[in-house]
Amino acid sequence: MDLLGALENFATECNQNQRLRQMNRDWTRLVELWATDTDLRLWLRSDAGLISAGVGSAADADLKISAREDILREVFSGTITPTEPYNAGDLLVKGRQDDMMRLDIITLLIWGE
């Protein structure tokens, strides 16, 4: 599965999870993802908890995430937790820590500990 496919699956899982929809009803954010090795840019949007994803740059993003494409794919397909590459310095983020934590919690709720 490629990165876009992983992101779209991630969005579907989020949207099917009622607890997540409830939790994110006050969370409207735009996230930009940049695969540093392939220069691929994608976006992820939460619109009051409804998640969508697509290809392209995101102007005025709330959160910017950069890593190698394989790392981004593993994170958004639940193979690894975001914290693992983050604590190794392989995944860098720009934006508010609350938003970072929220994304991590979403992966926690979908894929567990």
Binding stretches for other proteins (CB under 8 A) = 19, 23, 32, 34, 36, 39, 41, 57-62, 64, 66, 81-84, 86-89, 92-97, 100-102, 104-105, 108-113
- Say if residues 3 and 79 touch (Cβ distance below 8 Å): no
Q: CB nearer to other proteins: give 25 or 94.
A: 94
CB-based contacts of 58, cutoff 8 Å, min separation 6 = 30, 31, 32, 41, 43
Q: CB nearer to other proteins: give 4 or 95.
A: 95
What is the smallest separation between the CB atom of 99 and other proteins, expressed in angstroms? 9
What is the smallest separation between the CB atom of 104 and other proteins, expressed in angstroms? 7
How far is residue 54's CA from residue 58's CA, in Å, rounded to a whole number?
10
- DSSP-derived 3-state class of residue 56: coil
How far is residue 80's CA from residue 28's CA, in Å, rounded to a whole number?
25
What is the smallest separation between the CB atom of 5 and other proteins, expressed in angstroms? 21
What is the smallest separation between the CB atom of 28 and other proteins, expressed in angstroms? 11
Q: CB nearer to other proteins: give 4 or 110.
A: 110
How far is residue 57's CA from residue 52's CA, in Å, rounded to a whole number?
14
